[in-house]
Amino acid sequence: FSIINNNIFTISIFDVTPMTEKAMMETGYFNYYSSNVLQQFMNDLLVTINNISKKLQIDIKILLKHKRPLSPDKSQEYINFVDNITRENKNLHKLPVQDNLFDIISNSDLSIAIPYSSPVFVAKYLSKPSAFYDPTMKIINTEIENNYFISGRKELYTFIVNAAQKYLTKLELSFKH
């Protein structure tokens, strides 16, 4: 985990790589996890995190972990999109899919996942701040085991700003001792 630095606010993002349209039609999974929704998920997170980084004048490291290995039935459009945003955003690091989920979350200050992916449940188990984020604002917020649910950019901004401010307060207190 050479990417993790304890002096930089670290956010882990967990997506679900969308299938190709053909694969979705063949399996009957033509649903929420489309390339468009996942691109919106990533764009919202990057724009929000980068705005907060500028506003609070802090470095924020973003770790992205795909749920599963890439395969021919995965959306090439989304794979290319992730490759492009990784090149464009020096603070965004794509982690190998085999990296340990518990280690990533343990070494992050905040974790955000597409609904209802398991990393949020793992973060809750590890007592680490986390949330599901729905960029479409279409999923009805049903509380699942007291996990935090964010719908839309305004809620996303508030959630991340609050977590970053808590991190800064904790960092400030540790320097005073």
pLDDT score for 51? 97
The answer to the question of residue 2 being in a domain is no
- Whether 73 is covered by a domain: the verdict is yes
3 in a domain, yes or no?
no
Q: Is residue 108 part of a domain?
A: yes
Reading the block at residue 106, the tokens are 């343990």
Look at residue 92 in the predicted model and tell me its pLDDT: 98
CB 4 within 8 A of CB 10: yes
Residues 6+ apart with CB under 8 A from 157: 48, 51, 52
Q: What per-residue confidence (pLDDT) applies to 1?
A: 44
Predicted structure pTM score? 0.89
The DSSP code for 111 is E
Give the pair of three-digit tokens for residue 24: 């979705």
Q: Is residue 56 part of a domain?
A: yes
DSSP assignment, residue 20? P
Write out the chain's pLDDT in tens, 177 residues: 445 555 799 999 999 888 667 655 666 655 777 889 999 999 999 999 999 999 999 999 999 999 877 777 678 899 999 999 999 999 999 999 999 999 999 999 999 999 989 999 999 999 999 999 999 998 877 666 656 899 999 999 999 999 999 998 887 766 665
On whether the CB atoms of residues 52 and 25 are closer than 8 A, the answer is no
In a domain, residue 1? The reply is no
Q: What is the pLDDT of residue 2?
A: 47
Number of domains in the chain: 1
Determine the structural domain holding residue 115 and report its residue range.
9-176
On whether residue 143 sits in a domain, the answer given is yes
Residue 167 located in a structural domain? yes
Domain CATH number, residue 39: 3.40.50.2000
